[in-house]
Amino acid sequence: FQPKRLAGKRVLLTAGPTFEPIDPVRGITNLSSGKMGFAIARAAREAGASVTLMAGPTALPTPFGVRRVDVRTAQQMHDAVMAAAHGQDVFIAVAAVADWRVANASAQKLKKNADGDTPQLRFEQNPDILAAVAALPQAPYCVGFAAESENLLQYAEEKRRKKKVPLLVGNIGHETFGRDENELVLFDHDGYKHLPRAGKQELARALVAEIAGRLPG
Ligand code: C5P
């Protein structure tokens, strides 16, 4: 028996990578599979929540009962999230959002040229979706993720403070991308708590229970 700890709550999530075009057939992405975010969406729905999932490019199936919106770029993910943020109780930012997009993306396919010249890409910064939601006047309870290759304890707590979110979840080991298992550390104003190595779905359920226990009221 699983208690419906999020009954009546609305949960919004981001998951997966983003894809930043270089030209109509090329782009820049990352190794996020979306598995952790999709597992959390499924767990939140199991816990009774009404769940909306903003998904970057991934072939994962939509969890039962979850409303899914597919997006490609960080800007599209930002716009979809901001349009849906009002009235949400919880926002969980699991997506590996590209920090930069190509400022001079080409409308036509780039061609090799005889001189061997290579394209010169310029980058501009993408909006920080998590920080934008956390800064809303009636912000939902915001949960961020951190995947660091070193100094996780220090960087994750710094990130929690910088983005002004009550809960920041650190992936232990950056080689979590694409795997079926994970290991997490939860940082909040009281300190940190370890969720030991387990399957992503089991960890997702544990994380949803931790979030439910922290909601106001
Ligand atoms: O700053 P950094 O990318 O390390 O922070 C990771 C957290 O912030 C994750 O929760 C990620 O989903 C979120 N994020 C975001 N928008 C961005 C960059 C990161 O929502 N542009």
Q: Is 30 a catalytic residue?
A: yes
Q: Ligand 1 pocket, 18 CB below 6 A?
A: no
Tell me what the pLDDT averaged over the chain comes to.
94
Residue 168 — very low, low, confident or very high, per pLDDT cuts 50/70/90?
A: very high
Q: Ligand 1 pocket, 169 CB below 6 A?
A: no
Which residue from 62, 70, 61, 66 is spatially nearest to 18, judged by alpha carbons? 70
Average pLDDT over residues 24-52: 97
Residues 146 and 170: beta-carbon distance below 8 Å: yes
Residue keyed to tokens 């030209």: 23
Q: Ligand 1 pocket, 20 CB below 6 A?
A: no
Handedness of CA 75, 65, 171, 135 (dihedral sign): positive
Give the pTM.
0.95
Mutate to test the pocket of ligand 1, among 128, 136, 149 (most ligand atoms within 8 A of CB): 128
Alpha-carbon gap, residue 206 to 199, rounded angstroms: 11
Average pLDDT over residues 196-202: 93
Cα 27 versus chain centre, distance: 20
Residue 176 — very low, low, confident or very high, per pLDDT cuts 50/70/90?
A: low
pLDDT > 70: percent of the chain: 97
31: its two tokens:
């190794």
Evaluate if residue 1 carries a pLDDT over 60.
Answer: no
When computed from its CA atoms, the radius of gyration of the chain, rounded to whole angstroms, is 18
Mutate to test the pocket of ligand 1, among 29, 53, 97, 158 (most ligand atoms within 8 A of CB): 97
